[in-house]
């Protein structure tokens, strides 16, 4: 049973290495998702700016304000997270294009 789960004798246990093309595609995908998330963030912010919560109860007003803050914050967090991931993948892409000397330490 363990033979079915273990890799074959001749294969590399770490799997194939990623190349520069996969880093570039990941960076472009992450950049696109960051751009889409930023557009969503702007629309959510504009909606909440034009439709402020107005409740007669102070507790309901506090809950609505807290939910608005959480939703807007999560939208911007998603946009900046995708942007920083894309930026990191661009750095890895550029670094993968530069060939290091075999004797140099990383």
Structural domain boundaries of the chain? 19-97
The conformation of residue 100, written as its DSSP 8-state character, comes to P
H-type alpha helices, 16-57: 20-50
Asked whether the predicted pLDDT for residue 12 surpasses 80, the reply is no
Asked whether the predicted pLDDT for residue 80 surpasses 60, the reply is yes
Mean pLDDT is lowest, of 3-7, 52-56, 94-98, for 3-7
- In this prediction the pTM is 0.73
What's the whole-number average pLDDT of the chain?
86
Compute how many other C-beta atoms are within 10 angstroms of the C-beta atom of residue 60: 12
pLDDT of residue 9: 57
* Cα 1 to Cα 12, 14, 37, 77, distances in angstroms: 20, 21, 46, 45
Task: State pLDDT tens for residues 25-70.
Answer: 999 999 999 999 999 999 999 999 999 888 899 999 999 999 999 9
Compute how many other C-beta atoms are within 10 angstroms of the C-beta atom of residue 39: 12
pLDDT of residue 69: 94
């Amino acid at each position: 049973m363990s033979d079915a789960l273990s890799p074959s004798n001749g294969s590399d246990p770490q799997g194939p290495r990623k190349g520069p093309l996969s880093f570039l595609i990941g960076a472009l995908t992450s950049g696109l998702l960051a751009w889409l998330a930023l557009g969503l963030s702007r629309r959510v912010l504009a909606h909440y700016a034009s439709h402020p919560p107005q409740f007669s109860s102070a507790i309901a007003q506090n809950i609505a304000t807290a939910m608005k803050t959480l939703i807007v914050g999560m939208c911007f967090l998603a946009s900046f997270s995708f942007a920083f991931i894309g930026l990191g993948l661009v750095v890895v892409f550029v670094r993968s294009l530069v060939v290091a000397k075999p004797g140099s330490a990383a």
